[in-house]
Amino acid sequence: MKKTILVTGAAGFIGYHLSDHLLNEGHYVIGVDDLNEYYDADLKRARLDKLHSRENFRFIREDISNASEIEKIFSKFRPSVVVNLAAQAGVRYSIENPEAYIRSNIIGFHTILECCRHNKVEHLVFASSSSVYGNQKKIPFSESDNTDRPISLYAATKKSNEEMAYSYSSMFGIPITGLRFFTVYGPMGRPDMAYYKFADNIRQGKTIELYNHGDLLRDFTYVGDVVKATEKVIKTIPGPDPEGVRYKVYNIGKGSPEKLLDFVEIIERLYGKHAVKEMKEMQPGDVYQTYADTSLITKDLKYRPDTTLEKGLALFMDWYKEYYGLGANSLRKDK
C-alpha cells in the first residue's frame, strides 16, 4: 500500500536517500529539516533540489524541537508512518556544543513521540546509533548487549531515545522500531564524517588526522544497504514482546569491521593521489571498534547487506569528483 510517510532530517544524508527511495516506491513523502549549519548547508540544499523535482514530495523547513509547528504538520498531513532521522550528529561536536544535542535529540525526539501518540501513527521508526554500545570488549555488538555505559553525550542521547521510545510504546501502544546505524557512508554523505574529510584533505593537499595512530576498526555500511534495511523495517510493524510491548531494535551494519588505514588506502587509490597523514592520540568519546551482529535483522526480515567497501567507496568517489568539479559534467565548482 502507498502511504503518507513523514521523514524528519530529510535534507540529511540518510534522510535524502531514504526519501528518494520511498518516492520511487510511490509513497507520498513529507520531508522536515531545519537546514542547520552543522555542516555545509549547500550540500543539504543540493539534496533537496533533487527531491523537490519529484512528484509526491513536500518539504517543510522546521526544527523538530518546535512542538507547536510539528504538531501542525502532523495534524495537516496525518502520516501513517514516521521515520525520525533528525538529530544532532557527531561524537566530537557533542564535547563543544552539548546544548544542541539536548535540544534536538532529547526535546525534539520527545516532540515526535508526543505527536505520534496523539495522531495514531501506525509505525514510528527512529535512528539510534552504534555509539550506544560504548567501548565494550565483547564483539560483535548484539541488540541484547548491555548499553548502560555510553562514553559520549551523543551516545547518551541516543540511548535516551531508546528508553523514551520503549516507554511510549509501553504506555500508549505505539509500534516503534529503533535502528542502530553503524558508520554509514556513500554519495552525498556528511562532510563531518572521516571518509569525506579524507577525500577533502587529499584534494586540498592537507594533512589527514588518524586518531589512535590509525588503529581503529569500523563497521562501514553503505547507504544503499541502510535504505534497503530501513524500507524493510518500515513495512514490518513489530509484534508484542513477552510484556505486550510492540517495540524492536535492530543493528544496521555490514557485519564486518575494516581497518581505518585500509579504508584510507582505498580512497587514495580511487583518488589517484596519496594523503599526508598525521598520527594522533585517541579522541575523548571515540571507541576503538564497532562491529554489528546482524543476525537478528537477517532472521526477522531476511536482510543482508551486499555492497563491498571497494564498490561503495568507488560510488562515493564518483559522486565526489563530479560534485567538486574534478571530472566532466560537474554539479558544482570549488569555491
What cell was used for 27? 509513497
Q: Where are the beta strands (DSSP E) in the chain?
A: 4-8, 28-33, 57-61, 81-84, 123-129, 176-181, 184-185, 207-211, 217-218, 221-222, 247-252, 258-259, 276-280
Virtual torsion, Cα 260, 315, 222, 44, nearest 10 deg: 100
Which residues 6+ apart lie within 8 Å of 10 measured at CB?
Answer: 16, 19, 29, 31, 32, 33, 48, 51, 59, 85
Q: How many CB atoms lie within 10 A of CB 209?
A: 15
What cell was used for 63? 526544527
154 catalytic residue (yes or no): yes
Q: Pick the catalytic residue: 16, 93, 133, 154?
A: 154
Q: Where are the beta strands (DSSP E) in 228-320?
A: 247-252, 258-259, 276-280
Partnered with residue 207 across adjacent β-strands are: 276
Can you state the angle between helices 223-235 and 13-24, rounded to 10 degrees?
A: 60
Instruction: Name the residue among 166, 188, 182, 141 with its Cα closest to residue 323.
Output: 188
Three-class secondary structure of residue 150 per DSSP: coil
For the annotated catalytic residues, the residue numbers are 154
